[in-house]
Amino acid sequence: MAECHDVRDAAPLLVEFRDRLPKGTALDVAMGYGRHAIYLAEAGWQVHGIERDPDAVAACRREAAERRLSLRVEQADLDTYRIPTAAYDLVVVFYFLDRALIPQICEAVKPGGAIVYETFTIENQQRFGRPKRTGFCLQPGELPRLFDGFTVLASREGLVGGQFVAQLVAVKPGGRGG
């Protein structure tokens, strides 16, 4: 069995790039139980997390309260929710893919802000049957194309923690010095 990080811990990609990401406000899209939102709040970001599942939202709020962290956690359906424009220094998305939402995600990042994105590739579905819907899987080389115009700090595809994923860390042009 492949060694995998503890799912309660932040993803290794986020940990690896944390100190190179712009501080300030952060958005965790489809945050699940909030492991990345909690991690970013502990590291000093002002975090806004959005999640559809009410149980996950409640669990994140409880954990944030136990750790005495200030998080804005919102229960919302991303099919109808409108992400604020140019509101975040950092947007993180892990294991969620809705191509129709990508333009809003791009617009949500302030100039000079960053995106950290990691999700399944089609190879994961072909080898392991997950996710079940092909539309939730990235095609080879697709992720950096979705963020065309951003400056790529890292773009990787392959086996990570026993899953085939694509990863992207990129900065939106136009910030200070940019």
43 — phi, psi (to 5°)?
-90, 0
Neighbours of 3 (CB within 10 A): 6
pLDDT of residue 10: 94
Which among 134, 25, 6, 88 is positioned nearest to 15, based on CA atoms?
A: 6
Query: How far does Cα 160 stand from its chain's mean position?
Result: 16
Neighbours of 102 (CB within 10 A): 16
pLDDT of residue 20: 96
- Mention every residue, 6+ apart, whose C-beta is less than 8 A from residue 39: 9, 10, 14, 15
pLDDT per 10-residue tile (average), the chain, 178 residues: 51 96 97 96 97 96 94 95 96 97 97 98 95 94 97 96 96 74
Q: Provide the 3-class DSSP secondary structure of residue 5.
A: coil
pLDDT of residue 109: 98
pLDDT of residue 8: 72
Contact 91, 26 (CB under 8 A): yes
pLDDT of residue 176: 59
Q: What domains lie within the chain, and their CATH numbers?
A: 12-171 (3.40.50.150)
pLDDT of residue 12: 95
> Peptide bond before 131: cis, by omega within 30 degrees of 0?
yes
